[in-house]
Amino acid sequence: MARSKREIDKDAMYRKIMPSYAKNLSTESNSTDKPADVEEPKPENESSAGKPSKIENQNVLVNLMEELVLSKLDAALARFNCCKCDKCKKEIAAIALNKLSAKYVVIDNSNKAMLSITEQQHNAEVTTALVQAILAVKANPKH
């Protein structure tokens, strides 16, 4: 079915606004799982001849708390006798992220050192939220 000009493709807009969501989807699903009517977003700096130009300074909007929770999830699960299935991991991450406030940062090549300092500041907060979420899921698993 063709879309009118007034209709907004909400999925495409969300993928453009939230690059971490699109990154998570690409790692979880194969390219064969995608519907045929969904177009892949094209890079803005791609020339009409199809040759991608050199990306020198790419800015990415990232929820720092989401990245920290996902990076610390496996280490926290290793400390507890808890189910490590994909469903439980996602449930734990969701509970932990709901307890934390979102901290969005723009990452480019020049401020990666500042990012590690910011991660150290929120390390204890993320660990506390993860432990609480693990205990909640361990007490009442969804399966």
How far CA 129 is from CA of 25, 91, 95, 99, 110, in Å, comes to 24, 13, 8, 6, 30
| CA pair distance 107, 60, nearest whole angstrom | 5
Express each pLDDT in 109-131 by its tens digit. Answer: 777 777 777 788 899 999 999 99
pLDDT score at 20: 63
pLDDT tens digit at each of 143 positions of the chain? 555 656 666 666 666 676 665 555 555 544 444 444 445 555 554 444 444 444 556 888 889 999 999 999 999 999 998 899 999 999 999 999 999 999 988 888 777 777 777 788 899 999 999 999 999 999 998 88
Domain residue spans of the chain? 60-139
One-letter amino acid at 122 equals H
Q: Residues of 25-61 as b/e, b for ≥16 C-beta within 10 angstroms?
A: eeeeeeeeeeeeeeeeeeeeeeeeeeeeeeeeeeeee
pLDDT score at 53: 44
Give the 3-state DSSP-derived string for 39-102, with helices as H, strands as E and coil as C. CCCCCCCECCCCCECCCCCCCEEEEHHHHHHHHHHHHHHHHCCCCCCHHHHHHHHHHHHHHCCC
pLDDT score at 108: 81
Strand pairing report for 104-107 and 60-63: antiparallel
Q: Is the pTM of this model over 0.85?
A: no
pLDDT score at 46: 46
| CA pair distance 124, 117, nearest whole angstrom | 13
